[in-house]
Amino acid sequence: MTEDTNILVFVVSDDPHVRDVAEYGFPTNAGVELFPDAGEAFDAMVENPPDVVVVDLQTGTEGGFSLARDIRNHSKLDKIPVLVLGERAGDAWLAKQGGATRYLLKPLPAPTLVSEALDLVPA
């Protein structure tokens, strides 16, 4: 994150569309770190907690459900908002059980992903 960046967003997805939206869709005051793998993202979060995490349920070696649950169970990370992305409406229940703050269905327009994620950042 640079000096002029005041929001840190972690995006955990191996979906090329989600990664492209995240890489180019957030405003310049948002530092965005992309992770294709949930385990790698979790380790990075412990080192440098983000302001918000966007997690795809279908991600890398550890699924998004497990990552959301791990975030909620870690004392350093448990207050971080987690936006979970899924492909089925029925996954909303699973996402909530994992500790998601909000759940959205993919595919979704870039402005929706960005605005929903930023809406979760504490003021």
Residue 14's CATH number: 3.40.50.2300
Asked if residue 53 is part of any domain, the answer here is: yes
Six token digits for residue 34: 């992309």
Does residue 99 lie in a domain region?
yes
**Is residue 50 in some structural domain?**
yes
Nearest-angstrom CA–CA distance, 3 and 27: 15
Cβ-proximal residues to 115 (8 Å cutoff; 6+ apart), any chain = none
Summarised one tens digit per residue, pLDDT across range 74-117 is 999 999 999 999 988 888 888 888 899 999 999 889 999 999 99
Categorize the per-residue pLDDT at 5 as very low, low, confident or very high, splitting at 50, 70 and 90: low
Structural domain contains residue 87: yes
Q: What is the pTM of this model?
A: 0.91
Q: Give 11-69 pLDDT, tens digit per residue.
A: 999 888 899 989 899 999 999 999 999 999 999 999 999 999 999 987 766 688 889 99
Measured between alpha carbons, how far is 53 from 76 in angstroms, rounded to an integer?
Answer: 14
User: Is 2 domain-assigned?
Assistant: no
**Residue range of the domain that includes 111:** 7-119
Residue 105, helix vs strand vs coil: strand
How many structural domains comprise the chain? 1
